[in-house]
Structure 1
């Protein structure tokens, strides 16, 4: 009796899984530009632009992040990796932190019901789409590179419109609930006021 019930449940899950991720999957399959952008982004990298700014940012974010990642050494490594992956794609690192806050609550091995993996909840099909099937999406730097490249592409595609870019990232284009959640986390936890020191 239990075996039949379990088989039925698995069948239901397999049938409904494509429906849960349909808009993101369709968007990815018909978008060769995103595939090329992601492939290029995974292959290239850069480092912190300005050491002083990076250190100020790390000190500030370290204090904010302490409630989510208790291990200080890992916390600094994580923040450096986020800053690197975000700035490599010309994204504000604070917005990437807000997205991670919503997507995985900073859990490195987060796995969604749809199969999205890691901090930025990247779907595994992206590895095959860009010809890197052996990439480990649970590995921090890999996950951040993929996620930031995808977000940057959508932001460019939407001509800087964060609401639409975030909705695309989530596969909910046309709805605002997801972008609102990310923006709320950004404003409440990760916003950094830019200070000008003009003479």
Structure 2
């Protein structure tokens, strides 16, 4: 999949361009209980801005160290510092909001889209976290183009991964397989877990 190219939006304002296909599987549309659907809908439509606020000084220092280290590691993939910092700040916010480790989400984004905002997979998954368009109909406003927006994509992706972890009773291996549409197969979960180890931050 990764070597193939397909026609995709290079940005809503930038027109159409060639974007390498992303490494996403086919997330399955599953029957969700009304309470779960409502909770997910609220999770993705909450308009709270991704502003990091950490009152504890030690935790604030740790976050700033994380931001600096991750920015340095990501610089070759995303040379524009402003874009890089905005992605990292938003990813950290959305990961923490969903109860996920930011380093795990970085690993997933690496495997899913190689940090390409406008990546589109052969099955139509979109953006950094390769979210399938049906999710915008199930829990959103029905506009799949919004999946190319940074915060929207990360919010959907983190919320969906959190849902799958809960569905699998904390089994991350099975949850990652479900996220990729390949539940029970080892290739995708192992790839994400390996990438997660590469992004781990222990300071």
TM class, shorter-length: 0.7 to 0.9
**Does 2:81 align with 1:72?**
yes
Select between 151-160 and 164-173 the one with higher mean Cα deviation.
151-160
Secondary structure of 2:148 counterpart? coil
**Does 2:190 align with 1:180?**
yes
Secondary structure of 2:91 counterpart? helix
Q: 1:39-50 to 2 correspondence within 5 Å?
A: 39-44=41-46, 45=48, 47-50=51-54
Whose radius of gyration is greater, 1 or 2?
A: 1
2:32 counterpart residue number? 31
1:15 counterpart residue number? none
Tell me: higher relative CO, structure 1 or 2? Use CA pairs within 8 A at least 6 residues apart.
2
Query: Relative to 1, partners in 2 of residues 1:150 and 1:57: Cα closer, same or farther, differing over 3 Å?
Result: same
Would you say the 8 A contact 1:47–1:88 is kept in 2? no
TM-score, scaled to structure 2: 0.78
* Aligned-partner Cα distance in 1 for 2:163–2:65: 28
* Aligned-partner Cα distance in 2 for 1:156–1:165: 8
TM-score, scaled to structure 1: 0.79
2:95 counterpart residue number? 86
Superposed displacement of residue 160, structure 1: 1.7
1:6 counterpart residue number? none
* Aligned-partner Cα distance in 1 for 2:111–2:39: 24
1:119 counterpart residue number? 128
Secondary structure of 2:52 counterpart? coil
Structure richer in strand, relative to its length: 2
Would you say the 8 A contact 2:45–2:140 is kept in 1? no
Superposed displacement of residue 122, structure 1: 0.3
Q: 1:158-173 to 2 correspondence within 5 Å?
A: 158-173=168-183
Root-mean-square deviation over aligned CA pairs = 1.8
Instruction: List runs of 5+ in structure 1 lacking aligned partners.
Output: 1-19
Superposed displacement of residue 72, structure 1: 0.8
Once the two structures are superposed, residues 25-54 of structure 1 have per-residue CA deviations (whole angstroms, 9 ceiling, x without a partner) of 2xx331235533321211234643523332
* Aligned-partner Cα distance in 1 for 2:195–2:36: 26
Secondary structure of 1:137 counterpart? helix
Superposed displacement of residue 57, structure 1: 1.3
Would you say the 8 A contact 1:37–1:149 is kept in 2? no
Would you say the 8 A contact 1:89–1:152 is kept in 2? yes
Structure richer in helix, relative to its length: 1
Superposed displacement of residue 93, structure 1: 0.4
